[in-house]
Amino acid sequence: MNEKYSHMTAKLSLISMCVIFFLLIVTMLLSNIILLFLIRHGLIEDNRGGPLIPFLFQSGMVSIITGTALAYCIVHLPLRSIQLIIQAIHEVSEGNFHVKLHLEHPKEFQKLSQSFNQMTAELASIEILRTDFINNFSHEFKTPIVSILGFAKLLKRGNLSYEEEQEYLDIIIEESQRLSTLSTTVLNLSKVESLSLLTDKGPVLLSEQIREAVLLLEKKWDKKQIQFDFQMEELWVTANESLLKQVWLNLLDNAIKFSPVNGKILISLSRADHHICFSIEDEGPGMDDTTIRCIFDKFYQGDPSHAMEGNGLGLPLVRKIIELHKGDIIVKSYPGKGSVFSVLLPS
């Protein structure tokens, strides 16, 4: 590989030298023509006392040879840097995102080196996220499948009581629903991440949509006897209705999941400056700063005790949908003091 780059550099050097040599010849010819013109018309005196043309030819050749030699020395240095850049780019194309450039001179190459190193660092972090996503997704997908397979084999053997059969069937149904939810969420997230512009926008009455989301999750919050406190204005927003509905469902589901039995959830909706602010506050265990920084990462679950109730994809989906709506999401939480998720949408 080094021979390949050496050959490429030698070729670039040869081309550069040919171009420089040609430019020097053209420059000397033009200079001599102008000088002859000035002497012939008496604008410049020639006091040498010898033939002019041979002198111009000799001085021109000396200048060309000297200039070419100096140009070779000067051109060789940046070409060496170019060779390093080409080699580094090839390394990146081969999947090595840890390669770094350390070019100090000239200043332009220094800036190029810094930008290149920043690019490879970003690519390396993306590669880590991609690998983690595949590993986590495989684990999340495999767990319910193993459970379904195991209980299906037990049912096939027979010799089970009616209660045991019903229990195993309930587990199979629950794991199947979990698998279905996971695949649906992954597909939704993939679909949303592929969007660069929001489509199918229309007027949405937020208060009504949020109430519908609460009703859809009634089975979950009723089981924990959770009380709701609504402080919502009747506000409209231009948005993608189906995508925005997923935001409320995920945030509500998250609040219900972490709320204690007989807990309380406060939901508010108001206009602030040029934004519409939706806020949901729970009485859950809260989060520390480290957890808050990671909750929007795919498959991240800060509380392992609730791992069976989710897949760590809801909040990444929420953030992406809000970004598509040119909005923002803010999280405030302290350990033992619950959490507040605030969504800001342009009004």
Residues 183 and 243 in one domain: no
Six token digits for residue 124:
């390396």
Check whether residue 210 and residue 184 sit in a common domain.
no
Number of domains in the chain: 3
Structural domain contains residue 213:
yes
The CATH number for 167's domain is 1.10.287.130
pLDDT computed for residue 96 by the predictor? 78
Domain coverage including residue 158: 138-193
Asked which of 96, 130, 164 is the last residue of a domain, the reply is 96
Q: How many Å apart are CA 270 and CA 182, to the nearest integer?
A: 33
**One-letter-per-residue 3-state SS of 242-282:** HHHHHHHHHHHHHHHHHCCCCCEEEEEEEEECCEEEEEEEC
The pLDDT of residue 277 is 92
pLDDT at 227: 92
**CATH number of the domain to which 334 belongs:** 3.30.565.10
pTM of the model: 0.56
Do residue 79 and residue 186 come from a single domain?
no
In a shared domain, residues 92 and 185:
no
Residues 148, 26 share a domain:
no
Cβ–Cβ < 8 Å for 206, 276: yes
Structure tokens that stand for 132 in this block: 């983690």
Q: What are phi and psi of 325, to 5 degrees?
A: -90, 10
Q: Are residues 211 and 328 in the same domain?
A: yes
Mark which of 66, 96, 126 sits at the end of a domain. Answer: 96
* Amino acid 226: pLDDT: 92
Give the burial class of 134: count Cβ atoms within 10 A of its Cβ; 0-12 exposed, 13-18 middle, 19 or more buried: exposed
Q: Which helix (H) or strand (E) holds 204?
A: strand 201-205
Round to whole Å and give the CA distance between 186 and 175.
Answer: 16
DSSP class per residue in 4-64: HHHHHHHHHHHHHHHHHHHHHHHHHHHHHHHHHHHHHTTSS---S-S-HHHHHHHHHHHHH
What are the pLDDT tens digits along the chain (347 aa)?
Answer: 455 555 655 666 667 667 776 777 777 777 777 777 766 666 666 665 556 666 666 666 767 677 666 666 666 566 677 777 777 888 787 777 778 877 777 777 778 888 888 888 877 777 776 676 677 667 667 778 888 888 898 888 878 888 888 988 988 998 888 788 777 777 777 777 766 677 778 899 999 999 999 998 888 889 999 999 999 999 999 888 888 888 998 899 889 988 999 999 999 999 988 889 999 999 988 888 888 888 887 666 665 554 445 556 778 888 888 888 888 999 998 888 889 999 999 87
State whether 330 and 219 are in the same domain: yes
| Other CB atoms within 10 Å distance of the CB of residue 218 | 9
Instruction: Answer positive or negative: Cα dihedral of 214, 218, 220, 224.
Output: positive
